[in-house]
Amino acid sequence: MNLRLLAQKSLASRRSTAILTIVSIAVSVILLLGVEKVRVNAKSSFANTISGTDLIVGARSGSIQLLLYSVFRIGSATNNISWKSYQHIAQQKGVKWTIPISLGDSHRGFRVMGTSRDYFSVYQYGEKRTLKFTSGKQFEAVFDAVIGSEVAKTLNYSIGDQVIISHGTGSASFTQHKDKPFVISGILEHTGTPVDRTVHVSLAGIEAMHINWNGAVKKRKTSKVVTESNLQPESITAFLVGLDSKIVSFKMQRYINDYAGEPLLAIFPGIALHELWSLMSVAEKALLIISLFVVVAALTGMLAVSLAGLNERRREVAILRSVGASHWHIMGLLITETVLLTMIGIIIGLIMLYSSIWVAQPLIEKNYGLFIPITAPNVRELGMISVLLAASFLVGLVPAYFAYKNSLADGMSVRS
């Protein structure tokens, strides 16, 4: 009878403790690999959100804050910047394109972003991919809106539907621009970025919606005909800049940061993202350490169970010895047992991890904008699994050693 079969049968006879040990290993595997998956995917989803943009310009605040509100729609701007400053910088030599961004309104919990038509041709994400429409087209009229795939899916919208935009960004906003509904003109393809959760309208649309509308008090005037000509915004929240050449990047940044007309801040999105990571790395390490401790706890639990069981198994060991098993066989049996338990724990953990990702995927994407794909474990994760297996082997050595010592001392005598 080989060791694995023997170990299996022996474990089967102690089902309940074996199952509990497997569960604790499985839970630790879920935590360890789950944390790793979230970490890696959060990073890549952030990194994939913007590409091809050389600078982001907003009111002077912190670079991470500017990055978060302009690109990830997290938090809000401390200040707006004037249309004049925007125009001035957009016309500088070396500036290839600019995309204005105007934030501050929402539609049923989704942020509304005012922008220019260039946005749809110039904005890039992932590996320099541009936005594509699944249906419809970009906004043409003042009250046209283009929605992201997640907005369309969640609210079940299609082309031609009307949307009413609320003032402010809370989902329970009381002041709504009911007199001026927007009409959906286009739906964008899924991108896996905050674009999916955004309602895009023209800057003129944002202006038009606020015309005849005085702060929190709505004036009940019939909406007069609004055309694009009288709808130039006075200010915007931020703008993205593309440059002709990388060489001018730093000069342009200095120029914008020293701009006398208004305190502005120009950041490199890649470098701001890097700063964000170094800020997050503390939390990341803390999470990793916690999950490592959970693994250690699971292994220690397994060791405790294994050692506690040893006394009760003296008879088993003695019988095995009597039918010709050597010390090495007994030791091998115990080591095989722990490794087997760990392996089963890992497999069950992986199954549970992947099925919970499968179940939670749409929820996580909807609530946090984070898409966690179901992919095979990467090198780092496989490494973690191998280390866990190696650790279980070492843990197996302890009861094996005691069993060896006991079997020497006990010989064939059975005291029970």
Partner 1 sequence: MKNSNSMTLALASLMLTLPSVHANASELDAHEHGSANLDIAIDTSTIEMRFESPAVNIVGFEYATEDEQQLLLINKAKSNLSNFDLIYGLVGDVSCQTVKSSAKWVTEHEAGHDDHGEVAKAEHAEFIAEYRLECNQLNNLAAIDVKMFEFFPAIEDLDVQVVYSQGQIKYELDANNTLIKLDR
Positions in 62-101 near partner 1 (CB under 8 A):
63
Q: How far is CA 253 from CA 16, 100, 264, in A?
A: 65, 17, 10
Instruction: Give the interface segment with partner 1, choosing from 3-11, 74-82, 265-273, 303-311 (CB under 8 A).
Output: 265-273
Q: Which is nearer to partner 1, 139 or 268 (CB)?
A: 268
Beta strand pairing status for 124-125 and 129-130? antiparallel
Contact status: 149 vs partner 1 (CB under 8 A): no
The residue behind tokens 């006075």 is 234
Q: Count H helices and E strands in the chain, helices first.
A: 12, 17
Contact status: 245 vs partner 1 (CB under 8 A): yes
Instruction: Give the interface segment with partner 1, choosing from 197-205, 218-226, 250-258, 287-295 (CB under 8 A).
Output: 250-258
Q: How far is the CB of 270 from partner 1 (least distance, A)?
A: 3
Instruction: Give the interface segment with partner 1, choosing from 182-190, 244-252, 311-319, 335-343 (CB under 8 A).
Output: 244-252
C-alpha 66, offset from chain centre: 19
Instruction: Give the interface segment with partner 1, choosing from 143-151, 187-195, 271-279, 291-299 (CB under 8 A).
Output: 271-279
Contact status: 279 vs partner 1 (CB under 8 A): no
Among 5, 20, 247, 360, binds partner 1 (CB under 8 A): 247
Q: How far is CA 173 from CA 157, 166, 168, in A?
A: 20, 6, 7
- Tokens, residue 399: 């009861």
Among 1, 15, 172, 258, binds partner 1 (CB under 8 A): 258
Q: How far is the CB of 148 from partner 1 (least distance, A)?
A: 25
- Give the DSSP per-residue string, 393-410: HHHHHHHHHHHHHHHHHH
- The H or E element spanning position 249 is helix 249-257
Report how far residue 171's alpha carbon sits from residue 197's, in angstroms, rounded to the nearest whole number.
13
Compute how many other C-beta atoms are within 10 angstroms of the C-beta atom of residue 78.
13
Among 6, 248, 364, 370, binds partner 1 (CB under 8 A): 248
Contacts with 147 (C-beta within 8 Å, 6 or more apart), sequence order: 110, 157, 163, 184, 186, 187, 188, 198, 199, 200
Contact status: 328 vs partner 1 (CB under 8 A): no
Among 13, 134, 171, 250, binds partner 1 (CB under 8 A): 250
Instruction: Give the interface segment with partner 1, choosing from 222-230, 243-251, 304-312, 355-363 (CB under 8 A).
Output: 243-251
Assess contact for 196 and 190: CB atoms under 8 A.
yes
Among 82, 257, 361, 406, binds partner 1 (CB under 8 A): 257
Q: How far is the CB of 278 from partner 1 (least distance, A)?
A: 9
Among 84, 96, 132, 254, binds partner 1 (CB under 8 A): 254
Among 114, 268, 313, 333, binds partner 1 (CB under 8 A): 268
Among 12, 246, 379, 412, binds partner 1 (CB under 8 A): 246
Q: How far is the CB of 273 from partner 1 (least distance, A)?
A: 8
Q: Phi and psi of 122, rounded to 5°?
A: -105, -35
- Tokens, residue 340: 């087997």
Q: Which is nearer to partner 1, 101 or 272 (CB)?
A: 272
Q: How far is CA 387 from CA 19, 205, 248, 393, in A?
A: 22, 57, 48, 10
CA dihedral 145, 150, 152, 156 (to 10 degrees): -150
Contact status: 274 vs partner 1 (CB under 8 A): yes
Contacts with 189 (C-beta within 8 Å, 6 or more apart), sequence order: 131, 132, 133, 134, 149
Label residue 43 exposed, middle or buried (CB < 10 Å: 0-12, 13-18, 19+): middle
Contact status: 132 vs partner 1 (CB under 8 A): no
Q: Which is nearer to partner 1, 123 or 182 (CB)?
A: 123
- The H or E element spanning position 209 is helix 203-210
Contact status: 349 vs partner 1 (CB under 8 A): no
Among 271, 279, 289, 290, binds partner 1 (CB under 8 A): 271
Q: How far is the CB of 119 from partner 1 (least distance, A)?
A: 21
Size of the site for partner 1 (CB under 8 A): 19
Contact status: 249 vs partner 1 (CB under 8 A): yes
By CB under 8 A, name the binding residues for partner 1. 54, 60, 63, 245-250, 254, 257-258, 265, 268-271, 274-275
